[in-house]
Amino acid sequence: MKVFVVGATGQIGQYLINLLKDSKEHTVRAMVRKDEQVKAFEKLGVETRLADLEGSVEEIAEAAKGCDAVVFTAGSGGHTGADKTLLIDLDGAAKTIEAAQKIGIKRFIMVSAIHAHRREKWSSIKHYMVAKHHADKILEQSGLTYTIIRPGGLLNEPGTGKVSIAEALESASIPREDVAQTIITALTMENTFSRSFDLVSGEHLISDALNKI
């Protein structure tokens, strides 16, 4: 598959780009919004397109043309306000889903957040959880072949390659590297199609955990 990564400059996105770049099964195209980011990725040998999640659906669709799958791992970041969270994490995701529909890309992986599907668990940053919840709902109703991955608290330490996956888990953490590895492993696993799950560090190899969902 040629995988279109939205959020390529984010921390999970960078891990994912490197995994896809080195993959024997897949190729990758990064979506970025600044010329200097294009140059940085092209130095790494990564195909890149300029587009902005605050731009038009058509702009995103044009950038994604020719790809077979989309991974949405973009986020407005913790330093921005609720308005940017809605524009990027919710409307940016909705636009990307619409762009995939427009050009016939069926496979779509969304990086969400643990408990996004359980309102009773929203204890803080509720605008962020609202954005993730409704972006996930839009994807579920899109007709695309989706997988929604809801990771726990994100860590910058090296991945362990071992995770716990279930429809509902208690709050816990996970290295970003393991989230990226879960994404790339799930890409072609049919039992992850039209499924959503929480993801934290655990005792099972990623492929084994995904096989059991």
Of 186, 209, 206, 184, nearest to 19 by C-alpha is 184
The answer to whether 109 and 42 are in contact (CB under 8 A) is: no
Q: Which of 4, 15, 72, 128 is catalytic?
A: 128
CB atoms within 10 A of CB 52: 16
Extract the tokens encoding 6: 């939205």
Bridging pattern class, strands 69-72 and 153-155: unpaired
Residue with tokens 């955990």: 209
The helix/strand/coil state of 110 is strand
**Is 128 in the active site?**
yes
Phi and psi of 163, rounded to 5°?
-140, 170
- Active-site residues: which are they? 128
